[in-house]
Amino acid sequence: MKTSFKIALFLLFTLIWSIFVYLINGEWLYFLPLLLADVIFFETISWQFWKKKKEKKKSTKSELRNWIEAIAFAVVAAHILRTFFIEAYTIPTSSMEKSMLIGDFLFVSKVSYGPRTPMTPIAFPLVHHTLPFTNQKSYSEKIKLPYHRMKGLGKIERNDCVVFNWPAEKLGRPVDKKENYVKRCVGIAGDKIEIINGQLIVNDQNQVEPEGMKKQFVYNVKTKGSGLNPKILYEKFDITEGSRGKNPNEYNLFLTDESYKGIQKFNNVELVEKRISEGEYNIFSSPQNNPNKWLIQNPYNWHEDMFGPIIIPKAGEKVKLTTKNLPIYKDIIERYESNSLKVLDSNIFINDSLTNEYTFKMNYYWLMGDNRHNSADSRMWGFVPENHIVGKALFVWMSWDKNAKGIKKIRWDRLFTSVK
């Protein structure tokens, strides 16, 4: 087949395919002509690897050029796959213990909720916000694109484990270059959220917990006579977090429902009591200048175990604004939806207009860690905007236990398990 005919056929297919993708709103399928181009013109990938290779005529291309073309195509294909389809992440902290463990390696689906088009398209491929082995940013802000999400396979549902860009980050990075977090979405736009004595209540009902979800809370544990054996706590009940109290017979342990029931059976344990905060960790309460503190003032004295009720903002819905509830919506109005906000003599001005209400432009979500007493989440920094959503955690492909030795370092029972 002549090269000119191949090119004409390829261009015709690309045109027809682009029209088809546009009609079905499947923007993330635009990549297919790239693979076809490799099959027809470049042949950098062996698409018929099962067949015995025929001897080829000696190529006029140099070996170096072949390598450059193969590497370039692989990088482009991997970058497209990572941007629009699936990406690998690791769990660095214990905020989702025991549902997800430190050392879990996840695959995250971008198409589940629809991939975002890059907001900072000029960037070094296959890295996030920082170049490897340097402290230099991996992107340029000379070109910035508005937020746009392609059509996905579904929408965010309650109890999905979601990867998102941390909205509270104030390092000046673009949205898609902010640090990635993973939490459980316990409330979607329009839901009513409340926490009473540590119990999460969604739309006036106790949270419906999915099978496989394992919440943790801090418990005060008191023994009589002798202490607890750390090895037994770890090997038998997988208790990996906690500390000894001031009294040698007192412990502060992070327990699931299962480990709570198990530790109660110890002969030397006389007390196992869930710790309920009494306001020492006030939400929305601390100074702006300290990055380790919460972001806005708390007008209600809410804290991690006593919170709300509060309605999660929904696109198109209005909220009545007062000087009391304004701190809750301040970041939405100013940072996420790009308005100017001023308060003069108890009067609220948005974009220099006096008002007592605001209409939300985006949907928002409420995300929390399953490790409820060791998770910085929406209780601390508020709502997560839809433009910060990255994708849905699908499954664990590798899990590495740094506390184990030898072959036991690999958690074999977690390999290729779905995220619950």
This prediction's pTM? 0.82
Contact 301, 308 (CB under 8 A): no
- pLDDT greater than 80 at residue 345: yes
In this predicted structure, what is the pLDDT of residue 290?
39
CATH 2.40.440.10 fits 85-189+367-420, yes or no: no
CATH number of 217-274: 3.30.70
* Stretch (H or E) spanning 350: strand 347-350
**Band (228; pLDDT cuts 50, 70, 90):** confident
Question: Of the given ranges (34-43, 141-150, 229-238), which has the lowest mean pLDDT?
Answer: 34-43
Residue 284 to residues 132, 193, 281, 305, 320, Cα–Cα distance (Å): 34, 16, 9, 14, 20
In this predicted structure, what is the pLDDT of residue 272?
92
**Band (351; pLDDT cuts 50, 70, 90):** very high
Could you give the CA distance from residue 393 to residue 183 in angstroms, rounded to a whole number? 10
Could you give the CA distance from residue 90 to residue 106 in angstroms, rounded to a whole number? 6
Could you give the CA distance from residue 189 to residue 67 in angstroms, rounded to a whole number? 49
Distance separating the N- and C-terminal Cα atoms of the chain: 51
Nearest to 299 by CA among 321, 270, 316: 321
Instruction: Provide the 10 A C-beta neighbour count for residue 300.
Output: 16
Question: Between residues 75 and 298, which one has the greater pLDDT?
Answer: 75
Could you give the CA distance from residue 298 to residue 306 in angstroms, rounded to a whole number? 13
In the chain, domain spans: 3-49, 85-189+367-420, 217-274
Nearest to 176 by CA among 158, 191, 163, 185: 163
